[in-house]
Amino acid sequence: MSDTIKTITFQLEGITCSGCAEDIQTVLREKEGVLDAAVDYAEGKINIRYDADLIDQKKLFLTVRKLGFKTTMLPG
């Protein structure tokens, strides 16, 4: 695996349905550099695998915030 492939986990607040989880995954997966995004609706967490050469943590964080969810980055 390349050194530029990273994984980040965010805690989400305000997720109210599984449809919201699917929407978040879809939006993130469409971003250049995102290899995978998986929302755990029950835990309120999202795991994102991405290429750090193409997208950074701040842009991922802001993308989730723009969808209307309060989020915090969890330690790796």
Residues listed for the chain: 76
The alpha carbons of the chain give a radius of gyration, in whole angstroms, of 11
What tens-digit pLDDT sequence spans the chain (76 residues)? 579 999 999 999 988 888 889 999 999 999 999 999 999 988 999 999 999 999 999 999 999 999 888 999 888 6
Number of domains in the chain: 1
Helices 57-66, 18-29: axis angle to 10 degrees equals: 140
Structural contact between residues 46 and 56, judged by C-beta atoms closer than 8 angstroms: no
Segments forming the whole domain that contains residue 36? 5-74
Give the CATH number, domain containing residue 28. 3.30.70.100
Cα(53)–Cα(49) distance, rounded to whole angstroms?
12
